[in-house]
Amino acid sequence: MCTASPSQQAFYNTPDIFRDDWMNAYYSAHTLDDFRFVYVGAAGTFTPLHRDVYTSYSWSTNVSGRKRWWLFPPEQTPLLLRKGGEEHLETVYDVRDVDPAQFPQFVRAQPVIIEQGPGETIFVPSGWYHQVVNLTDCISINHNWCNAVNLPSLYESMCAKVTEVEHSLYDVRQLLSQASANTPNPDAWKAEWVAIVQDVVEKDAGWHWATFWRMVHHALSLAMGRNCPINPDLWPSTPRELMPPIDFIKTRVRGCFEDFLKRPQREVEFILELGKVLGDVSALL
């Protein structure tokens, strides 16, 4: 018999193969948010073609109903893009209704198409575009997640996002740099510029560099058995045997860490909390 009150009872458990999840472990321990979702949709509704946030993995279990999935491996991404809009990654919206004049390459795409029944779970690999149609009324549970394996892909995707935001705010950069040109500290604008870019990145996708590195620090601490805040009601600690060897984890983190320190943007010099968390990560590496 279960003695927990209804509000404390988990109504499902995350399957072991999806438990090495750095995003939900971190968010459950440190924030009021997470990357766990319930999808409820009537027959005929659909989720348009997309790639999950920052190329995270997702898994999705159908509690009831049937869904049809179209999945495109990353090497087919160029075939999904609008003609002439390549740099904005503007893709097809609904794979069942594509205008060949606007998306001339799409006819060559060869998606994996599957039907998911009640009680069945699907794993969506990193960076795969996908579309989902509810064939009947559906309820499903879905997590976005990452770990040491897809961390480099998330890191690259964060870099690309920051560059995209920088380009779109180029006029703001000009205004800031011109305003401080004849002042005693002509470089003063750079800190403000970096802060504005990070703020927009966070508003767009829910996290920025400081969050990314805090999550990495949290995961590394847990994998190394260090004392670290957790919220066991929301995310019980992941058994060590469900994680890869620590050398593998450190190698993956080190690759991103070394690259981050070489970034021309030098965010680490302008955002105080970044310097602090990177110091903490470095101490564990």
Ligand X SMILES: O=C(O)CCC(=O)C(=O)O
**In the complex, least distance from residue 40 CB atom to Fe ion, rounded to whole angstroms:** 15
Alpha-carbon distance of 102 to 223, in angstroms, equals 48
Q: Which listed option, ligand X, Fe ion, none, makes contact with residue 142 (CB within 5 to 8 Å by class)?
A: ligand X
Cα dihedral 99→105→106→110 (10° resolution): 160
Q: Which is nearer to Fe ion, 19 or 143 (CB)?
A: 143
Nearest of 35, 30, 25, 23 to residue 143 by alpha carbon: 35
DSSP for 219-231 reads: HHHHHTT------
Q: Which stretch binds ligand X (CB under 6 A): 52-60, 86-94, 157-165, 226-234?
A: 52-60
Residue 195, classed as helix, strand or coil, is: helix
**In the complex, least distance from residue 73 CB atom to ligand X, rounded to whole angstroms:** 15
Q: Which residues contact 229 (CB under 8 A, 6 or more apart)?
A: 29, 30
**In the complex, least distance from residue 14 CB atom to Fe ion, rounded to whole angstroms:** 17
Beta carbons of 281 and 213 less than 8 angstroms apart:
yes
Burial class of residue 284 in the structure, from the number of CB atoms within 10 Å of its CB (0-12 exposed, 13-18 middle, 19+ buried):
middle
Q: Which listed option, Fe ion, ligand X, none, makes contact with residue 214 (CB within 5 to 8 Å by class)?
A: none
Alpha-carbon distance of 213 to 203, in angstroms, equals 17
Our finding on whether 166 is near ligand X (CB under 6 A) is: no
Our finding on whether 180 is near ligand X (CB under 6 A) is: no
Q: Which is nearer to ligand X, 124 or 277 (CB)?
A: 124
Q: Which listed option, ligand X, Fe ion, none, makes contact with residue 60 (CB within 5 to 8 Å by class)?
A: ligand X
Our finding on whether 39 is near ligand X (CB under 6 A) is: yes
Nearest of 222, 227, 226 to residue 239 by alpha carbon: 222
Among 55, 126, 142, 211, the residue binding ligand X under the rule CB under 6 A is 142
**In the complex, least distance from residue 62 CB atom to Fe ion, rounded to whole angstroms:** 14
Alpha-carbon distance of 164 to 3, in angstroms, equals 50
Among 20, 21, 52, 166, the residue binding ligand X under the rule CB under 6 A is 52
Q: Which residues contact 128 (CB under 8 A, 6 or more apart)?
A: 51, 71, 72, 73, 74
String marking each residue 111-140 x if it binds ligand X according to CB under 6 A? -------------x-----x-x-------x
**In the complex, least distance from residue 284 CB atom to ligand X, rounded to whole angstroms:** 31
Can you give the binding site for Fe ion, defined by CB under 5 A?
52
Query: Looking only at residues 60 through 89 of this chain, which bind ligand X when binding is defined by CB under 6 A?
Result: 60, 67
Q: Which residues contact 57 (CB under 8 A, 6 or more apart)?
A: 123, 124, 125, 126, 144, 145, 146, 150
**In the complex, least distance from residue 145 CB atom to ligand X, rounded to whole angstroms:** 11
Contact positions vs ligand X (CB under 6 A): 39, 47, 52, 58, 60, 67, 124, 130, 132, 140, 142
